[in-house]
Structure 1
């Protein structure tokens, strides 16, 4: 039984005592129908004053305890929210993906007269599901430092190149050009990302990529540490 429940019980006992006291005094007066009326053993007004004061004190104590309970409940709710946030951060600490350009077959991509986002469709790792194989975009689930690597391959007659973008910002380019034979290029970057920041690789203007079942063109990234 809580303190508030006990105090409330005491108050009910006091309230129930009022009619009982009046009944006792009434019975006493009825039974002594003699020439001399016997007074009630105690001054009923003094008793009522005492009981009223006691009720006021208990009401005050109940109010204080209710306030303390409300504050404690609010504190527990705040602690629960912080715990949930911590658990969420612990879960999203594991973020890593790796994908190649084609999921099957062979194909050339490009050249184009504008930069296009490369969609790496064959996903071999996507822990945390932060990479979208339908758009080619990685979206940061937690604030932290991430590392990205992209490798590209072309046939040598046209340049092979791709630019790493954070949101709309050009970060680094991987670019190679030679007149004959196959050509490959790669680069990497570590980026501080906020929650919701997007990272992708865009095909450089005029560049062309060749891919096959050997999966020459890849895009990978992982969370180094949250911040």
Structure 2
């Protein structure tokens, strides 16, 4: 029974060792997955930051372009004011020319003509300049509109990246919690494995001690009456202690084939059996007892006028160390034996007692 317990403990140790190794492999795989997820989160965070920087740069460019537009518009307003002033100057020149044409033909017309030409050139230049500024303003407005659309798209992408990063961070936290739980379970399994290993060592030593004790407790014998040939014993006027000389088994050497006496080496429960055999071709009696310390215990008895006499008995006895058991032939009894070993005496220890 204890050997079976030892085998169960050893098999439990092997199972726990296998589970511990598989748990360690699972923890390693989870750690690798966790690191890859951390790298993915870092890469996405870097990409998100770069995209945010790009959005900021585009926003700065858009603001600078808007400032440029504002500057161009202010320049346009200034040019319009100058155009208005130029037109007022032209009107005043025309008025002065009319007055001068009416009053004085005395003044030379060359100066007035040069002044008029100058005013005409400045007016044409102002119109050309306004045309170029309007075209540049339209281009800047279209570019700003495109930049705003790109900024909206980049902002949407950054928002999606942030959502993905939060989801990855949540999965990473869950994976870290799972890793902590797996590590805790692995530590507990290692503790159990160490406990069972130490218990297995103790059990192994106990099993070895039990084996030694069992070797000491391995007691059994079996013998027949005559060592060889055929013959008979009895009848006699007194009891005869039968000596079974043909020993089949004598484990523990507790049976003495010289005296025919079994001496208990250990306290325990013992089983004994014996048989008697004879021929009844004339008035005959075959009767014998098992004796424990000179105390009659059981009898095997057979009697008839002809034919074969045969009888056997068995008994279970509690013996102390040094108790003796043997078989004694009854007075006036006669038994016979030959190479078929009809008369036998056997015994063994069933289990020890403390």
TM-score (structure 2 length as normaliser): 0.39
- Larger RCO: Structure 1 or Structure 2 (Cα < 8 Å, ≥ 6 residues apart)? 1
Residue 170, structure 1, aligned to residue 296, structure 2: yes
For residue 206 of structure 1, the aligned residue among 316, 332, 336 is 332
Say if 1:87 and 1:196 are closer, same or farther in 2 by CA, change over 3 A. farther
For residue 191 of structure 1, the aligned residue among 301, 317, 325 is 317
Residue 92, structure 1, aligned to residue 216, structure 2: yes
SS of the residue corresponding to residue 91 of structure 1 reads: helix
User: Deviation of residue 87 (structure 1)?
Assistant: 7.4
Point out the structure with the larger strand share: 1
CA distance in 2, matches of 1:106, 1:158: 18
Residue 148, structure 1, aligned to residue 277, structure 2: no
Tell me the number of residue pairs that the alignment of Structure 1 and Structure 2 aligns.
Answer: 145
Residue 127, structure 1, aligned to residue 251, structure 2: yes
Query: Per-residue displacement from partner, 1:70-114 (whole Å, max 9, x unpaired)?
Result: xxxxxxxxxxxxxxx977743321100000000101101001111
Query: Per-residue displacement from partner, 1:161-186 (whole Å, max 9, x unpaired)?
Result: 11000011010110010110111010
SS of the residue corresponding to residue 111 of structure 1 reads: coil
Select the structure of larger CA radius of gyration.
Answer: 2
Alignment RMSD (CA, Å):
1.9
CA distance in 1, matches of 2:210, 2:320: 17
SS of the residue corresponding to residue 159 of structure 1 reads: strand
Residue 110, structure 1, aligned to residue 234, structure 2: yes
Residue 219, structure 1, aligned to residue 345, structure 2: yes
User: Deviation of residue 116 (structure 1)?
Assistant: 1.2
Query: Per-residue displacement from partner, 1:101-137 (whole Å, max 9, x unpaired)?
Result: 0010110100111111100000000000000000000
CA distance in 1, matches of 2:249, 2:210: 25
Q: 1:99 touches 1:121 (CA, 8 Å); kept in 2?
A: yes
TM-score (structure 1 length as normaliser): 0.61
Matches within 5 A, 1:32-111: 89-111=213-235
CA distance in 2, matches of 1:164, 1:134: 17
Q: 1:117 touches 1:202 (CA, 8 Å); kept in 2?
A: yes
SS of the residue corresponding to residue 215 of structure 2 reads: helix
